Structure 1
Amino acid sequence: MNILTFETNEELNEVGAGIIASLVQTKPNAVLGLATGSTPIGIYEELIKLYQKGRVSFKHATTFNLDEYIGLPEDHPESYRTFMNEKLFNHIDIPLEQTHVPNGNAADLEKECRDYDDMLTNSKQIDLQILGLGHNGHIGFNEPDQSLNSGTHIVQLKEETRKANARFFNSIDEVPTQAITMGVGTILKAKMIILVVRGAEKAAIVQRALQGAITTDVPASLLQTHPNVVVLLDKEAGGMLS
């Protein structure tokens, strides 16, 4: 595990975008696993700049997003499909049919999970997976539990997760209670993982995830078992690491 700490978010964003762009430059048909939320936005902005400068093209790449809320219309401003379109896809040359986000409005949600896993299987292997880190140690929407699902599945969101996401809605009552998420097993199959964490409020869980016991009570701690993880932290998030 390669842990990098940055003095500024600008440096962090440039390094994160540089890793992704380098992969796509050397492997134009790369399969990218993408994340939502405020954490990766700066990296996506840097990727857009690199594309606009003609330094990278995504027209042959394929993307799979980690998760999606259940019950939000696809065009809802807080759906993850809307997020990805507005923050990245609409500004680069990737065909939208090559971008995949779980359908949280599928008539048969269990079948949607199976179909998403089938698409992932048919794409062979994710070359690079971007992750954020939840306050309780979740990755994707894989919440702390006695056991974790390997494949794509439906999850009941913890109250602390809903509270953390309530800032994007008018109130916590509007935050969905369920989501579809890629499983930890699928995440760990990626050839490379980039974990991005920002802010002092994440320092304690960063320490537990990266230097604590490997346990399903902190799903991100399972990243310690992966052979190729790069961790990008601002100095506040890395403040409790030994």
Structure 2
Amino acid sequence: MKISIYDTNDAMSQAAAELVAKQLAEKPNSVICFPSGDSPTGMLGYIVQWANEGKINLSECYFVGLDEWVGMDENDQGSCKYYLKHNFFDKLNNKLNNVTLFDAKVADLDAECERMNNFISSKGGLDVMIVGIGMNGHLGLNEPGTPFDLYAHRSELDPVTVQVGQKYFTKETPLTEGITLGLKHLAEAGKAVLIASGAKKANIIHESLQGTVSTEVPASILQTLPNALVLLDKDAASELEHAS
């Protein structure tokens, strides 16, 4: 695990976008997983800007979604699909051809997990998997207690996730279950990338990166991954010991 700390959220976001740009320059048909939420917005802004300026080429790569609230799609404000559509896909001048996202409205969610697993496997695995971190240490919707050896799976949402998740919606929205790529995907990715910013994340960042490795803090798996890259702004890194 390598930790990089930046002065601002913008600098961290640009560094994350540069990591994606470098990956695409080296392997144009890379398979890349993007999250939704607050953390990736700046990064996606840079990727959109550079793609529209012709500085990076997204035409050959494959984009995979990280997770979704069960029962929601791109028409639900607050869904992961809605976020990616409005912050990424719709802002690109050229339509992306190779996008694979969870369909969280299907009757057979286990079969949907297998579909995602099979797609990723058919492409040789994820080249880059980018995740944010929840206030309870979740990555994607891998909630506290999730085994480290799972691929895509259904997830019963932790109360903290249910509470914090309300910020993505304009009205109180029942959240009970999610569907998500697994921590095994993160472990097997060419690059496992965590991005986080803000002082509110400082405590869980410290617990995840310098505390005990445990399934109760899913992000602690990063300590065990030689392929892990952690990009933080100074506020998110403020409780780390011996960080620079």
Instruction: State the TM-score, normalized to the length of structure 2.
Output: 0.94
8 Å CA contact 2:77, 2:168 repeated in 1 = no
Aligned partner letter, 2:67: D
Q: What percentage of aligned pairs have identical amino acids?
A: 30
8 Å CA contact 2:73, 2:103 repeated in 1 = no
Against the structure 1 CA distance between its residues 53 and 74, is the aligned structure 2 distance closer, same or farther, given a 3 Å change threshold? closer
How far is 1:77 from its partner? 2.1
- Consecutive unaligned residues of structure 2, counting only runs of 5 or more, are none
Match in the other structure for 1:220? 219
Aligned partner letter, 2:209: L
Which SS does the other structure have where 1:105 is aligned?
Answer: coil
Superposed CA RMSD? 1.5
Match in the other structure for 1:18? 18
Match in the other structure for 1:178? 177
Per-residue deviation, residues 107-138 of structure 1 (Å, max 9, x unmatched): 21111111111111111111111110011111
Match in the other structure for 2:236? 237
CA distance in 2, matches of 1:182, 1:94: 27
Per-residue deviation, residues 173-204 of structure 1 (Å, max 9, x unmatched): x1421110111111211010111111111111
Counting only pairs closer than 5 Å after superposition, residues 144-183 of structure 1 correspond to structure 2 as: 144-145=144-145, 147-148=147-148, 150-172=150-172, 174-183=173-182
Match in the other structure for 1:36? 36
Against the structure 1 CA distance between its residues 229 and 148, is the aligned structure 2 distance closer, same or farther, given a 3 Å change threshold? closer
CA distance in 1, matches of 2:59, 2:148: 34
Against the structure 1 CA distance between its residues 146 and 193, is the aligned structure 2 distance closer, same or farther, given a 3 Å change threshold? closer
8 Å CA contact 2:138, 2:144 repeated in 1 = yes
Counting only pairs closer than 5 Å after superposition, residues 48-67 of structure 1 correspond to structure 2 as: 48-67=48-67
CA distance in 2, matches of 1:230, 1:149: 20
How far is 1:17 from its partner? 0.6
Moved over 2 A (4+): 90-97, 146-149
8 Å CA contact 1:71, 1:176 repeated in 2 = no
8 Å CA contact 1:5, 1:234 repeated in 2 = yes
How far is 1:147 from its partner? 3.5
Match in the other structure for 1:85? 85
How far is 1:94 from its partner? 6.5
8 Å CA contact 2:132, 2:194 repeated in 1 = yes
8 Å CA contact 1:151, 1:184 repeated in 2 = yes
Which SS does the other structure have where 1:54 is aligned?
Answer: coil
Match in the other structure for 2:191? 192
8 Å CA contact 1:150, 1:183 repeated in 2 = yes
Aligned length in residues: 241
How far is 1:171 from its partner? 3.8
Match in the other structure for 1:6? 6
8 Å CA contact 2:58, 2:96 repeated in 1 = no
Aligned partner letter, 1:9: N
CA distance in 2, matches of 1:145, 1:109: 20
Which SS does the other structure have where 1:46 is aligned?
Answer: helix
